[in-house]
Structure 1
Amino acid sequence: MTEARSSLVDSLHEHVDDSLRIVGYHGGNSWTVDYVREDLQGTYETDVVDEIADDLLLNVVANERQETLYELGDMRATVRLFDQGFVVHVPLGQRDGCLVSVDDDADVRGRELVELVRRVEA
């Protein structure tokens, strides 16, 4: 894990404490998981992680179309809400991005996580 990514994991922990579930990066078709909370280790098999990475890549490719459709400026992130938590995906380039997963009881807004990722990755 790079120093910037380690710093991001530390910053996210400070911000959301034990509600942090997963932090990962994708670059093209490759995927790196930098943090998985202890109780979730072993939950996601390699093939599922690869499918998630493929899904994120498709979203990054679709960003330009969505930016045109919605006319709200540049796509800064996507947020997916689930029963047990939410996932924030922050595109960092043409085919790169960062995924942050947090429990549903976290006292944090998605926009705060996006800004934190962008600040650390800058």
Structure 2
Amino acid sequence: MDDSKLKHILVVDDEEAVGYVFERYLSIKGYRVSVAYSGEQALDAFRADAPDVVITDYKMPGMNGDELLRRLRALQPGLPAVMISANPIEVGPTLEQVRFFPKPVSLEILVEHLETML
């Protein structure tokens, strides 16, 4: 299939191993995946090739996932998003229409939710 017709997911996590696992799994499931390792990298990636959905870790150095999603939604209101955190209490309330999953997340369940979001 032509990659340009695949749904595009931007994964943002400061841990390279996590980004790699998400990229591999989601690619196998038929998505086009970009990975960024910081909020700033994610903003650059978004501007270069806007995704259909963003999956972001909450706790990252510099810019946390909530701030990143606020900045991305300023560029594209209503952007579908998933936030993931190892410490859900730290996250607090999230933006509207952001699905939240605690770590470790089941990638199978995550894909089920992505299919309803896209």
Write 1 or 2 for the structure with the bigger share of strand: 1
Relative to the length of structure 1, the TM-score reads 0.29
Structure label with greater radius of gyration = 1
Relative to the length of structure 2, the TM-score reads 0.30
Higher relative contact order structure (alpha carbons within 8 Å, sequence separation ≥ 6)? 1
